[in-house]
Amino acid sequence: MPFSMLSFLPAPLILILSSTLALTSTLVLVPVLLVLALIKLLLPFDAARRLLGRGVIAVAETWIAINNGLIRVFSRADWQIDGIEQLRRDDWYLVLSNHQSWVDILVLQYLSNRRMPFLKFFLKSELIWVPFLGLAWWALDFPFMKRLTREQLERRPELRGTDVAATRKACEKFSELPVSVMNFVEGTRFTEKKHARQQSPFQHLLKPKAGGVAFVLEAMGELLHSIIDITIVYPDGKPTLVDLLSGKVDRVRVHVRRREIPKDLLGCSYENDPAARERFQLWINQIWAEKDQQIAAMSGAAP
């Protein structure tokens, strides 16, 4: 993406303008989205519910398109996105990506909006209380997950398996319309401290968590045809949201790869079948090894 004609403005002014415009679009569009979602919730007719579901997604895609427009207007970043031609709007995808910054989410929305089915993330249950956005995520049927610690499960063993049940319940809604289910396989943002604490075998990645991917494939195996494997690299250092909104991000590199899902992994029980669990872990680790090499190549590329 070429430099914007407004990228010459001082960073504090860019931050104020972009933040104000983004907040304004949020305040205007979220109420519209919530009204459509409420009508959808109340109507008993499947055809009308599907139509309203498309309307809710159209509003969300408009909001993302505005955010993308603000990035184009105010950002000086040079974007390089490879493999985007593989994306289609009429299919169901499981999307996997590395995770370094909250900017990753805006990058994913930037490259996917109106090119593939709407991205839906698994969110921590506490995020339902984020002003405006929490209600918007609820209206869009984003699944909210309550993460239980090992200590909580030891105190209340009856809660074991509730995360799997929540995943299955959330995925039932995804059968109505094409959707892209997003999973940050590392489970958290990459930092050097986390990398060292894990003793990760990968140079640029934390250890992948296969369970979440396995649960989605178990619940949606008949719908999902392929995986979209996305690798995000910031050659000039990991940016913050403020950096992006201030126009301080210089380069963004993204590699998109479509992967077929091994048939022997569909429909098997990760939780109850040790052999299936081992196959899943080997498969995810192989993807992560290839992604680690991809990041190294993209990070070392010349500007």
pLDDT at 298 over 90: yes
pTM of the model: 0.87
Is 241 contained in some domain? yes
| Among 165, 134, 136, 131, CA closest to 148 | 165
User: What's the pLDDT at 222?
Assistant: 74
| Range 96-109 average pLDDT | 95
Say if 290 falls within a structural domain. Answer: yes
Give domain status of residue 50, yes or no: no
Lowest mean pLDDT across 13-27, 120-134, 165-179, 203-217: 165-179
Q: Is residue 54 part of a domain?
A: no
Structure tokens at 3: 């430099």
Please tell me which residue, 166 or 34, carries the higher pLDDT value. Answer: 34
Which pLDDT value is given to residue 218? 77
Tell me: pLDDT of 117 over 90.
Answer: yes
Asked if residue 45 belongs to a domain, the reply is no
Range 243-259 average pLDDT = 93
Q: Is residue 204 part of a domain?
A: yes
Lowest mean pLDDT among 151-160, 187-196, 289-298: 151-160
The pLDDT of residue 46: 79
- What is the residue-averaged pLDDT of the chain? 85
Question: From the CB of residue 159, how many other CB atoms can be counted at a distance below 10 Å?
Answer: 12
Tokens of 11: 């960073």
Which residues constitute the domain of residue 230?
Answer: 77-299
Q: Which of 176-185, 281-290, 294-303 has the lowest mean pLDDT?
A: 294-303
Checking if the pLDDT of 271 tops 80, the result is no
Q: Is residue 5 part of a domain?
A: no
Q: pLDDT digit string (tens) for 66-90?
A: 999 999 888 888 999 999 998 999 8
| Whether 97 contacts 232, CB under 8 Å | yes
* Residue 46 domain-assigned (yes or no): no
The percent of residues in the chain predicted with pLDDT above 90, rounded, is: 47
Grade residue 160 by pLDDT with cuts at 50, 70 and 90: low
- Give the span between the Cα atoms of 153 and 150, in whole angstroms: 5
Confidence of residue 149 (pLDDT cuts 50, 70, 90): low
What does DSSP say about strands 119-121 and 251-260: parallel, antiparallel, or unpaired? unpaired
Tell me, what CATH number does 95's domain have? 3.40.1130
- Confidence (pLDDT) at 61: 96
Count how many domains the chain has. 1
Worst-scoring range by mean pLDDT, 50-64, 101-115, 146-160?
Answer: 146-160
Query: For residue 73, what are its two tokens?
Result: 């207007």
Strands (E), 54-154: 78-82, 93-97, 119-121, 123-124, 144-145
Q: What is the dihedral of CA 269, 273, 279, 281, to 10 degrees?
A: 80
